[in-house]
Amino acid sequence: MKFRSDPAAVRGSIAPLVTPFTADGELDTDSLRALVRWQRAAGSHGISLGGSTGEPGAQSTAERAAAMRVVAEETADELPFLPGTGSASLADTLELTGLARDLGADIALVITPYYARPTQEALVTWYGTIAREYPDLPIVVYNVPSRTAVDIAPETVFRLRKAHDNIVGIKETTKDFEHFSHVLHLCGRDFLMWSGIELLCLPLLAIGGCGFVSALANLAPAAVARMYELYTAGEHDAAIDLHYRLHPLVELLFVETNPAPAKHVLADLGVIASGHVRPPLIAPTPAGLDRITALRAQAADLLAPGVPA
């Protein structure tokens, strides 16, 4: 748990994995292991699981726990592990967060509770309960209003940061880039911030962000990691060039609902055995597949795990 004791060391491209299922819809732990190993070989700086890209709402708590155990075994404290442990249920969130702690996870990403649309005061209570229950585990707030119908206000993040030493950062998955800046201004530039919006990953670094938890890392892990490394090495023009080269793959991710397009491509590459997504999602439609194929061709060189030229 070397990264848990120093969460500020967790930087760069944290890959938020898809959750592989068999063609029959069962959890595919063999493909999940292969996916983690592929990410490690490609140079991703950390692994996440259980965020929106992982279809957590379509899984039981037991399935999410089983997947978490596989990734904990594969990362083996050699690569930062940041599982998503939140849900709409406080009891389930506490159970999964406790398991993450026991498995040696370095940071728990806890989504704002979805569907209920809690007030800001309710969010203070929610996160405070989790932080007090697991004071030895760094907690990162996961803000994704497009999925949850609630946006955690910068002032609320500041209150949580001030009240709980183990609330150490935020994953910002909002297109309101001003939100990023307001949070860092209030909480301080030592507050950890990752972007979950693909086209805001590189811009976030310019205002003090520490990296990205981007679904794009499922398709082009080496390229996304390299973009971070180029920027932090001062090679800004090269990082910007790579940002634009990745645009077709960003568009590919959202041809239809994420993660269906990504899973289709990963299965086609042979990284996972099946591109199955669980209801209410469906596999890409014929029109979607045509668009995926065209976009994939525009950035085919970035799909391989090797570092792009």
Catalytic residues: 142, 171
Q: ∠ at Cα 279 (275, 246), nearest 5°? A: 45
Instruction: Tell me the CB-side half-sphere exposure of residue 237, using CA atoms within 13 A.
Output: 0
Task: Determine contact, residues 3/48, Cβ cutoff 8 Å.
Answer: no
Instruction: State how far the alpha carbon of 72 is from the alpha carbons of 27, 46, 50, 65, 95, in Å.
Output: 16, 12, 13, 10, 16
Q: For residue 160, what are the CA distances in angstroms to 224, 231, 268, 278?
A: 30, 30, 43, 35
